[in-house]
Amino acid sequence: MKKILPAALALALVAPAHAQSLAKATFAAGCFWCSEEAFEKVPGVVSAVSGYIGGQKKNPTYQEVSAGTTGHTEAVEVTYDAAKVSYEKLLETFWLNHDPTVIDRQFCDGGSQYRPEIFWHTEEQKRLAEASKAKWEKEKPFKQRILTPITKATQFWPAEDYHQDYYKKNPARYTFYVTGCGRYARLDQLWGNLRKK
């Protein structure tokens, strides 16, 4: 069973020299199961934790968030080794793994709890996120406007343990969900060959 490792704990468990190069990033791209899979496959990522951000209630449950009453969105908190992977690379992973042409939904999941969003932790992350959004607005292979907001990070609440690494623990159910939701088909339609690089 996977232990949830928020960024602060992950930082404490590594050697001091290595800890200095660790940083955290937070992204909402619809279902956090899918976001977790995308980021955990990026070399240099130490962990990707599913959870909730952007709402008012402390320590919300999945049932509360999925009801759309707390203001949170499903997200992942990524702990990464900045000496091995850049924040720009994480931003690219984010863009190519969500539909930026809609708000308050992603694929078959509707409601503000599935809204896509970049949550920045430092002024540098904010600058880089805004630059990446401007870049994709110019270079995107689709006609629709990019609507994904960029917001200052607030308290991140890790989701229940059964949500962590769901794609690994329940591969058949996960594949059924992703396929049935049309996630990859829509991403390929939007981004085309950019997703294959």
58 inside domain: yes
Task: Give the mean model confidence (pLDDT) for residues 3-8.
Answer: 53
* Domains of the chain: total: 1
Strand, helix or coil for residue 55: coil
Give tens-digit pLDDT for 138-177. 999 999 999 999 999 999 999 999 999 999 999 999 999 9
| Cα 158 to Cα 55: distance, rounded to the nearest angstrom | 13
175 or 196: whose pLDDT is higher? 175
Catalytic residue among 31, 34, 108, 181: 31
In a domain, 32, yes or no: yes
Domain contains 127: yes
- DSSP letter, residue 193: G
Q: What is the dihedral of CA 175, 79, 120, 16, to 10 degrees?
A: 180
Question: Does any domain span residue 34?
Answer: yes
Residue 1 lies in a domain: no
Question: CATH number, domain at 125?
Answer: 3.30.1060.10
Is residue 126 a part of any domain in this protein?
Answer: yes
- The answer to whether position 2 is within a domain reads no
| Residue % of the chain over a pLDDT of 70 | 90
d(CA 68, CA 70) in angstroms, rounded, equals: 6
d(CA 68, CA 47): 27
Q: What is the mean pLDDT of residues 59-82?
A: 97
- The structure tokens listed for 140 are 């995107």
Decide if pLDDT at 10 tops 60: no
Q: Can 34 be counted among the known catalytic residues?
A: no
Q: Label residue 165 left, alpha or beta by phi (over 0 means left) and psi (-120 to 50 means alpha).
A: left
C-alpha–C-alpha distance, residues 43 and 134, integer Å: 25
Half-sphere exposure of 107 (CA within 13 A, CB side): 22
CB 146 within 8 A of CB 140: yes
Structural domain boundaries enclosing 15: 7-196
- Tens-place pLDDT, residues 89-130: 999 999 999 999 999 999 999 999 999 999 999 999 999 999
Query: Which DSSP helix (H) or strand (E) runs through 37?
Result: helix 32-40
pLDDT band, residue 196 (cuts 50/70/90): confident
Q: Which of 2-6, 28-32, 131-135, 179-183 has the lowest mean pLDDT?
A: 2-6
